[in-house]
Structure 1
């Protein structure tokens, strides 16, 4: 059942990134249809990220309080309906009131609110279902769906857009999301002991703390453990680099590197396939290193190595002249970025299992605040100093994220803050 739950989370992760990345492909037809500039499209991209960032902590708290089953089902329904509305926002009464750009900003912001619940809830589910020595690979598999969803979306969305129009991309995405909501509700439970298919569930853990005691423990963790804040800052660096791939990568291949619409959609999947491989592999590696050398060494070595390699590969991809070499470098950079995901997310559970959803929501808030800057700053830097400069900045940010792992010590959560987790 653990692996079935992880499979469902993986599939939902695929859906989240179908709904997130599809607009980066449909922008090719949306922009001329509505007279949108690159800068306006950048603001629309960032509206999603802003809503996504602001609601990470509430999403994690909801998962800690009410459990993964109900919270994730509701979130799936919410963001699937918002995805469908994206197709009609420009001709809706909302557009008449606030304009086309305003309507698209609003719908992408509310879509981000719904999807913000997903990853912290994944972490809550993994904390409940996976044993301590397998949480890195557990969250790596769950979040690895990001790679598959982002890989299949550009070529499929481009083909659907060319044959049936860009609106159809959003409608089909919404149907898939609603189907996954039904499947998750039918199969998932919050804990193994609640599931009728688990014949020999693990023994119950210690009795839950009272709400005021839980809040007190969380406050002590946030106020007294600098690792939390270094973790948030480092993951913000990952978010800045990662969101280039989620927003501008397809358009970069088509408009800067000279690929046509369909070929660009095919090649745009390469970084996301690298993420699909890097995410679970990195989770497995960090679990093995943590078991052999201790939690802090296992998490930090994985995070530092992956972020360093990512920074170098991204900068190389931006400066190299050959389009195939650029594609290879940037794809490797994406895989290295997501190689670190298991280390980051498992660290939040290492710090406090009881607050895994809230802490991971806080960490992912940082990633998405960094990510909100990327879609806007990337074209601005490119317009003033060229696209290689945009990639140089992203690479330096990734290297800064690697350096911050020197101060991240997830093992402290077990010893000095909350022994009972």
Structure 2
């Protein structure tokens, strides 16, 4: 057969989109968590703000983020993920820069509570599209059997951003002080959003760099249109989707556990383990990088297991294993006196939790394929309803009981989330993926 009649090899533009989505989650979470680095090292001090006040600042972001999530999901489906993510980056970057500009106004740190609450609240509203739009983009660009791998990579970008935030933003504050550090990071996110607009599209069908082979891979998945307008009936159907509701409840339990580590892990290392500032930064980075590695392994492993035993049991098995193991490892870490061992137990705990993150973001659009952005927003709304209480409740429990008690409560929450997976079916309309179906994605995990 001549080379002219050979089928063209699929282009890899879908993995460029995945890489850019990783960049968005990296910058989004770097800029989200940078406030906690500044809080621990600059704002929480005598004559400044106390831990409960900073907890309110952290929760202000999450409260507005959560309340805006469902309207944001409708906007994602209406505009498409490309413009939704661009708007998110431009808005969030502006708010981060304004946080830094606040330091140039002459207001003392003790008087910054109200302006910080306002800026962080607006930032929370602007950040809404990040994960739902990224998951929506993955569902439009990747065949089903590669989506958990892609979502694992995308969510890993978030954890890499969180992990490097502690040492990198700390160094930026050391060299430029905290106001200029925030401005630098905000401008970087604005520039990245403009690059995303120039290089992305809403789906594989619309991108000028893809070829027929790559478009055909996604067409096999029978994708809906990138832009849809959901009705009130479709919105109410989300609450009647039993599997989606259970999925979001499990994610809420996971989020409480996860957000405690996101916002207060550095303070725990400093206040309870008495680690020096530099060691706190490095230990926090290690723990979050472990979660990023877990996300990549979990995504690849779930897709592999799904091809062997079906997506239902592949996802259920990895989810229950990861969440249960995470709670047990964190609980064990509380009983150890050696700070180095505590860091490693927490690292393996967050690594185990990372195994499951991509599953949630693959499952939500799969359970509501026509309104994937809204389904992702529904997941994140209820998920953050659990998560937003952790930044404020954690220091309250720690002050009245101990830091160990605060982390123990989070471990119990994560265990409950694991148990809920006994009743979650992410693929209620099919028994299993046929192992005889063409495997178009087996080699795709290598980028």
User: Normalised by the shorter chain, which TM-score bucket?
Assistant: over 0.9
Asked if the contact 1:352–1:414 (Cα under 8 Å) also holds between the matched residues in 2, the reply is: no
Residue 19 (structure 2) pairs with residue 3 (structure 1): no
Q: d(CA) in 1 for partners of 2:189 and 2:334?
A: 35
Q: Which residue of 2 aligns with 1:111?
A: 123
Q: How do 1:318-337 residues align onto structure 2 when only pairs under 5 Å count?
A: 318-337=334-353
Q: Please, which of 238, 244, 257 is the counterpart of residue 260 of structure 2?
A: 244
RMSD: 2.3
Kindly tell me: are residues 83 and 207 of structure 1, through their superposed partners in 2, closer, same or farther at Cα, counting changes over 3 Å? closer
Offset at 1:196? 0.8
Residue 83 (structure 2) pairs with residue 70 (structure 1): yes
Q: Which residue of 2 aligns with 1:222?
A: 239
Q: Please, which of 302, 308, 317 is the counterpart of residue 318 of structure 2?
A: 302
Kindly tell me: are residues 57 and 202 of structure 1, through their superposed partners in 2, closer, same or farther at Cα, counting changes over 3 Å? same
Kindly tell me: are residues 131 and 102 of structure 1, through their superposed partners in 2, closer, same or farther at Cα, counting changes over 3 Å? same
Q: Which residue of 2 aligns with 1:419?
A: none
Residue 420 (structure 2) pairs with residue 404 (structure 1): yes
The alignment partner of 1:106 has SS state of helix
Q: How do 1:275-294 residues align onto structure 2 when only pairs under 5 Å count?
A: 275-294=291-310
Residue 331 (structure 2) pairs with residue 315 (structure 1): yes
Asked if the contact 1:315–1:394 (Cα under 8 Å) also holds between the matched residues in 2, the reply is: no
Q: Show CA shifts across 1:60-101 (max 9, x none).
A: 2222221111111111000000001112336659x79x9521
Q: Which residue of 2 aligns with 1:172?
A: 184
Kindly tell me: are residues 210 and 258 of structure 1, through their superposed partners in 2, closer, same or farther at Cα, counting changes over 3 Å? closer
Offset at 1:178? 1.1
Q: Show CA shifts across 1:221-255 (max 9, x none).
A: 532x3111111110001110111122111122122
Q: d(CA) in 1 for partners of 2:288 and 2:352?
A: 11
Q: Which residue of 1 aligns with 2:37?
A: 25
Kindly tell me: are residues 111 and 211 of structure 1, through their superposed partners in 2, closer, same or farther at Cα, counting changes over 3 Å? closer
Q: d(CA) in 2 for partners of 1:83 and 1:221?
A: 33
Q: d(CA) in 2 for partners of 1:313 and 1:355?
A: 37
Offset at 1:295? 2.3
Q: Please, which of 273, 297, 309 is the counterpart of residue 289 of structure 2?
A: 273
Q: d(CA) in 2 for partners of 1:213 and 1:199?
A: 31
Worse overlay, 58-67 or 380-389? 58-67
Q: Which residue of 2 aligns with 1:233?
A: 249
Q: Please, which of 130, 137, 142 is the counterpart of residue 142 of structure 2?
A: 130
Q: Show CA shifts across 1:156-190 (max 9, x none).
A: 11122223211122112112101210110010000
Q: d(CA) in 1 for partners of 2:132 and 2:227?
A: 22
The alignment partner of 1:248 has SS state of helix
Q: Which residue of 1 aligns with 2:3?
A: none
Worse overlay, 29-38 or 287-296? 29-38
Q: Which residue of 2 aligns with 1:418?
A: none
Q: d(CA) in 2 for partners of 1:180 and 1:411?
A: 36
Scaled by the length of structure 1, the TM-score of the pair is 0.92
Offset at 1:308? 0.1
The structure that has the greater radius of gyration is 2
Q: How do 1:78-89 residues align onto structure 2 when only pairs under 5 Å count?
A: 78-89=91-102
Residue 60 (structure 2) pairs with residue 44 (structure 1): no
Q: d(CA) in 2 for partners of 1:221 and 1:57?
A: 11
Offset at 1:32? 3.0
Q: d(CA) in 2 for partners of 1:289 and 1:64?
A: 30
Q: Which residue of 1 aligns with 2:439?
A: none
Scaled by the length of structure 2, the TM-score of the pair is 0.87
Kindly tell me: are residues 18 and 240 of structure 1, through their superposed partners in 2, closer, same or farther at Cα, counting changes over 3 Å? same
Residue 178 (structure 2) pairs with residue 162 (structure 1): no
Offset at 1:393? 0.8
Q: d(CA) in 2 for partners of 1:262 and 1:74?
A: 35
What are structure 2's unaligned runs of at least 5 residues?
Answer: 1-12, 432-447
Kindly tell me: are residues 171 and 394 of structure 1, through their superposed partners in 2, closer, same or farther at Cα, counting changes over 3 Å? same
Q: d(CA) in 2 for partners of 1:169 and 1:138?
A: 31
Q: d(CA) in 2 for partners of 1:10 and 1:273?
A: 14
Q: Which residue of 1 aligns with 2:387?
A: 371
The alignment partner of 2:215 has SS state of coil
Kindly tell me: are residues 206 and 90 of structure 1, through their superposed partners in 2, closer, same or farther at Cα, counting changes over 3 Å? closer
The alignment partner of 1:192 has SS state of coil
Q: Please, which of 269, 278, 284 is the counterpart of residue 253 of structure 1?
A: 269
Give the helix-richer structure, 1 or 2. 1
Worse overlay, 300-309 or 354-363? 354-363
